[in-house]
Amino acid sequence: MTELAPKTTSGTTADAVVAQPVPLVEAKNLALRIPIFKANDRSIKISPLRLLTDLYFGRTKRAVATLLEDVSFKVHHGERLGLIGSNGAGKSTLLRVLAGIYTPSGGKLTVRGSAKGLFDVSMGMLQDATGLENIYMRGLQMGLNFDEIKELIPGIVEFTELDDAIEKPFNTYSSGMRLRLAVSISTMVEPDILLLDEWLGAGDARFSTKVQDRMNALVEKSRGLVIATHNENLMRNLCTHGLVLSKGKVLYCGELDEALAVYKDHGEQDAPAKLDGRQRGASAG
């Protein structure tokens, strides 16, 4: 989205104008709802007929699943936000909304700068294409042009340690080789806002150390970080703030220690009213 200039207040020459910091990520009352389809709705034979009859008789409403509801928070420059919650709380869904994979059903999302998510790094690799061809293909998917990809290729190939195998079809690679290539491609771009669904690791001990070093460098160079992880030690090492989700709703957003305490106290109870004055949907900053 186009970056909005911070609002200023005009007045006399004696008035002081204080510029408010503009957040990198600003979510206001985000909601995500998806229709629920039954198995027989996917039948090629009956779906067109059912659609026509439903339209004719006005039966167009379907059951809807609410994945996110009234989610509000901000991430400012230098902040690292950890998403906290049990499985199914909405952490991965929220990350994919921030990455632009899902479009919110309601609310407003403003992202200032480039946001890139490291999710399912091996997904989308072409089995019959060579490793080199997959680098070009994935680079184009990430919004790079041919010249930009060509400039990055030597570093990517060197990082993979695949040597001549980079010219061989992807379907001839071992699982370790596939993971090396996927990780190397996925981490070749340094975004302003880094989105992580769990910390990325790969390969044998030596290569895993290389990946950890690259991941740490990506975090350090990013202007902001949003990560979902069940690893409390990792979250304490990386994050400055925490956002607790339960069933797609925000229980708390603020200081990390308090966020972890809220999660431990309330777990999957979707009861913001019982938080004893703790903020719900607050800014991370």
Model confidence over 59-101: pLDDT tens digits?
556 678 899 999 999 999 999 999 999 999 999 999 999 999 9
10 Å Cβ neighbour count for 104?
17
pLDDT in tens, 191-236: 999 999 988 877 678 888 999 999 999 999 999 999 999 999 999 9
pLDDT of residue 38: 63
Could you tell me the domains of the chain?
A: 25-113+233-274 (3.40.50.300), 118-222 (3.40.50.300)
pLDDT at 162 over 70: yes
The whole-angstrom separation of Cα 115 and Cα 258 is 27
pLDDT in tens, 247-261: 999 999 999 999 999
The whole-angstrom separation of Cα 40 and Cα 66 is 22
Q: Which residue has the higher pLDDT, 47 or 185?
A: 185
pLDDT of residue 40: 58
Give the long-range contacts of residues 269-272, CB within 8 A, separation 24 or more. Answer: 270/246
The whole-angstrom separation of Cα 75 and Cα 161 is 36
What's the whole-model pTM score? Answer: 0.78
pLDDT at 141 over 80: yes
DSSP letter string, 66-105: EEEEEEEEEE-TT-EEEEE--TTSSHHHHHHHHTTSS--S
Residue 170: both structure tokens together: 């992807």
When mean pLDDT is compared over 60-69, 129-138, 141-150, the highest value belongs to 129-138
User: Mean pLDDT throughout 6-32?
Assistant: 66
pLDDT class for 51, splitting at 50, 70, 90?
low
Q: For the chain, give the percent of residues with pLDDT over 90.
A: 60
Q: Which residue has the higher pLDDT, 63 or 157?
A: 157
pLDDT class for 9, splitting at 50, 70, 90?
very low
Weakest-pLDDT range from 17-21, 156-160, 175-179:
17-21
For the chain, how long is the longest CA-to-CA vector?
Answer: 74
